[in-house]
Amino acid sequence: MSPAKKQTHAQTVTLSSDNKTQLKESIQTFQELFDSLQTEVQKLIVGQEEIVRNTLIAMIAGGHVLLEGLPGLGKTALVKSISDALHLSFQRIQFTPDLMPTDLIGTKMFIEDNQGGSRFEFSPGPIFCNLLLGDEINRATPKTQSALLEAMQEKHVTIAGETRPLDKPFFVLATQNPLELEGTYPLPEAQLDRFFFKLNVPYPKHSEFEEIIERTTGKEIPEVNTVFEGKQLLEMGQFARETPVAPSLKKQTVELILATHPDQPGAMDSVKRYIRYGASPRAGQTLLLAAKIRAILEGRFHVAEEDILFFAKPVLRHRVMMNFEAQADGIQLDELLDEICEAMKARWDQDAAA
């Protein structure tokens, strides 16, 4: 059942690069839209700027986000506030082991009408929305998890041989708890790969914590208003894709992705030792797309090396599989990814100086 959308009078702003003046204006508009969206979301979410920012970047790129963090850190609130700010239909599913795929995507139900006739009628599941919050996604069985695969990638679902498109835009923001791993089903690699970013939600700082308490226990709880509609988000995503990337930067992106592969010639020793599988080509696409959006947000008309490196961890941390030895040695994937990034940067600097 789709909840009723809030009424909004926000107009969709067209972003254009037809001429230089329009381009410059569009870049500025893009920044303003993004800032206003983030500001609105941050009314409810205290701190977590990077998480909010990266989540919004992933959504502009049309990607899904996997949020990992302890309970009570504001993951659900974040998703809810985004949906409010974008005037998106929002659904929340609490994943449990007994959740079935039909509970997610819907099913055909046998209906008897008043005239004594009967028919099968499709009853859509909660996936038919703009923003789906999959809470504790790793608690569902792989069967149910895989039901999300088609929806996430193809933006449609197939039920009883009938393909039904999902609403546009469609985003999945899933959460998972790094603790309480008993009775959980780790997400398969194929599904992990479909998440644009995996973001680790940190514990709020002391000052942020105080602010959270202040805001949520007062008489008036902040209300998130709609900034613009989901269509604008699609427009922004389309515009961001035009950002030019120098061939050498594309090459560097590929090099960074391949650097996570232990079987590549010249792979780092730590990569050979601790990594089982490297990132997929989809990681490269994601990296470049995110870098383009960041470049615009930084007010630039081109992608820079630092944009690529900036998103290395959120893009790669769920796409690179560490082996048993890494777990045994207590190796943290983020540290390993930092090491890879530093090594690649050093190599690129050396190439430039050669």
Closest distance to another protein from the beta carbon of 285 (Å): 19
Measured from the CB atom, the residue of 159 and 304 that comes closer to another protein is: 304
Measured from the CB atom, the residue of 241 and 276 that comes closer to another protein is: 241
Closest distance to another protein from the beta carbon of 55 (Å): 24
How many binding residues for another protein (CB under 8 A)?
Answer: 26
Which of the ranges 11-19, 47-55, 66-74, 119-127 carries the binding residues for another protein, by CB under 8 A?
A: 11-19
> Which residues make Cβ contacts (< 8 Å) with residue 89, sequence separation at least 6?
2, 3, 5, 83, 129, 130, 131, 167
Q: ∠ CA 202-187-109 to the nearest 5 degrees?
A: 115
CB 195 within 8 A of CB 59: no
Which of the ranges 38-46, 245-253, 255-263, 311-319 carries the binding residues for another protein, by CB under 8 A?
A: 245-253
Ramachandran bin of 87, using left for φ above 0, alpha for ψ from -120 to 50, beta for the remaining angles: left
Q: ∠ CA 90-94-99 to the nearest 5 degrees?
A: 120
Measured from the CB atom, the residue of 147 and 303 that comes closer to another protein is: 303
Which of the ranges 126-134, 159-167, 217-225, 243-251 carries the binding residues for another protein, by CB under 8 A?
A: 243-251
Site string for another protein, 278-307 (x = CB under 8 A): --------------------x-xxxxxxx-
Record the tokens describing residue 202, joined without a space: 């940190």
CB 187 within 8 A of CB 147: no
Is 119 a binder of another protein (CB under 8 A)?
A: no
Angstrom CA distances, 197 to 56, 58, 87, 122, 192, stand at 11, 7, 22, 33, 9
**Sequence letter at residue 146:** S
Site string for another protein, 16-55 (x = CB under 8 A): -xxxx--xx--x----------------------------
Which of the ranges 72-80, 151-159, 201-209, 239-247 carries the binding residues for another protein, by CB under 8 A?
A: 239-247
For another protein, the binding residue among 119, 246, 276, 281 (CB under 8 A) is 246
For another protein, the binding residue among 117, 218, 247, 330 (CB under 8 A) is 247
Measured from the CB atom, the residue of 23 and 100 that comes closer to another protein is: 23
Closest distance to another protein from the beta carbon of 347 (Å): 13
* Number of other residues whose CB lies within 10 A of the CB of residue 29: 17
Burial annotation 31-67 (CB, 10 A radius, 16+ → b, else e): eebbeebbebbbbbbbbbeebbbbbbbbbbbbbbbbb
Measured from the CB atom, the residue of 40 and 305 that comes closer to another protein is: 305
Is 244 a binder of another protein (CB under 8 A)?
A: yes
Q: How far apart are CA 77 and CA 5, in angstroms?
A: 18
Q: How far apart are CA 265 and CA 318, in angstroms?
A: 23
For another protein, the binding residue among 78, 88, 249, 341 (CB under 8 A) is 249
- Which residues lie near another protein (CB under 8 A)? 17-20, 23-24, 27, 242-249, 298, 300-306, 352-354
